[in-house]
Structure 1
Amino acid sequence: MTTLILIPARMASTRLPGKPLADIAGLPMIVHVAARAAESGLGRVVVATDTEAVAQAVRANGFEAVMTRVDHQSGSDRIFEALSALDPEARVETVINVQGDLPTVEPATIAAALAPLADPAVDIGTLGVEISREEERTNPNVVKVVGSPLSRGRLRALYFTRATAPWGEGPHYHHIGLYAYRRSALARFVALPPSPLEQRERLEQLRALEAGMRIDVELVASVPLGVDTPEDLERAREILSRKA
Structure 2
Amino acid sequence: MQILGIIPARYASTRFPAKALVDIGGKSMIQRVYEQSSKATQLNQVIVATDDERIYDHVESFGGKAIMTSSVHQSGTDRCYEALTKTEGKFDYVINIQGDEPFISPEPINNLAEELDGSIELATLVKIIDSEDILFNVNVPKAVLNKRREVLYFSRQTIPYLRGVETGNWLEKHTYYKHIGIYAYRVDVLAEITKLEVSSLEKAEALEQLRWLENGYSIKAVVTSDDSHGVDTPDDLERVTRRFLS
State the partner residue of 2:106. 107
**Aligned positions of 1:123-162 closer than 5 A:** 123-150=121-148, 155-162=149-156
Corresponding position: 1:179 with 2:173: no
Q: Is the 8 A contact 2:125 2:224 kept in 1?
A: yes
Deviation at 1:94, TM superposition (A): 0.7
**Aligned positions of 1:36-185 closer than 5 A:** 36-41=36-41, 42-87=43-88, 91-118=90-117, 120-150=118-148, 155-168=149-162, 169-185=173-189
Q: Is the 8 A contact 1:126 1:176 kept in 2?
A: yes
Q: Is the 8 A contact 2:3 2:113 kept in 1?
A: no
Matched residue SS, 1:86: coil
Instruction: Point out where structure 2 has 5 or more consecutive residues left out of the alignment.
Output: 163-172
State the partner residue of 2:168. none
**What letter matches 1:105 in structure 2?**
I
Give the distance between the partners of 2:66 and 2:78, measured in 1 at CA. Answer: 16
**What letter matches 1:157 in structure 2?**
V
Deviation at 1:222, TM superposition (A): 2.7
Give the distance between the partners of 1:236 and 1:66, measured in 2 at CA. Answer: 28
Give the distance between the partners of 1:126 and 1:212, measured in 2 at CA. Answer: 16
**What letter matches 1:78 in structure 2?**
R
Query: Cα gap change, 1:62/1:239 in structure 2, threshold over 3 Å: closer, same or farther?
Result: farther
Give the distance between the partners of 1:241 and 1:69, measured in 2 at CA. Answer: 34
2:210 aligned to which of 206, 227, 231: 206
Range that drifts further, 232-241 or 208-217: 232-241
**What letter matches 2:66 in structure 1?**
A
**What letter matches 1:163 in structure 2?**
Q
Give the superposed CA RMSD.
1.3
State the partner residue of 2:228. 224
Q: Deviations over 1:102-132 (max 9, x none)?
A: 11110011112223323x4421110001111
Deviation at 1:240, TM superposition (A): 4.3
**Aligned positions of 1:11-26 closer than 5 A:** 11-26=11-26
**What letter matches 1:15 in structure 2?**
R
Deviation at 1:19, TM superposition (A): 0.5
Give the distance between the partners of 1:209 and 1:223, measured in 2 at CA. Answer: 24
Give the distance between the partners of 2:127 and 2:201, measured in 1 at CA. Answer: 23
Give the distance between the partners of 1:146 and 1:93, measured in 2 at CA. Answer: 27
Matched residue SS, 2:86: helix
Q: Deviations over 1:46-78 (max 9, x none)?
A: 000001111111111110001001010000001
Name the TM-score, length of structure 1 as normaliser: 0.92
Matched residue SS, 2:8: strand
Give the distance between the partners of 1:236 and 1:58, measured in 2 at CA. Answer: 22
Identity among equivalent pairs (%): 42
Instruction: Point out where structure 1 has 5 or more consecutive residues left out of the alignment.
Output: none
Give the distance between the partners of 2:147 and 2:243, measured in 1 at CA. Answer: 33
Matched residue SS, 2:115: helix
Give the distance between the partners of 2:218 and 2:97, measured in 1 at CA. Answer: 19
Matched residue SS, 2:109: helix
Range that drifts further, 15-24 or 232-241: 232-241
Query: Cα gap change, 1:139/1:24 in structure 2, threshold over 3 Å: closer, same or farther?
Result: same
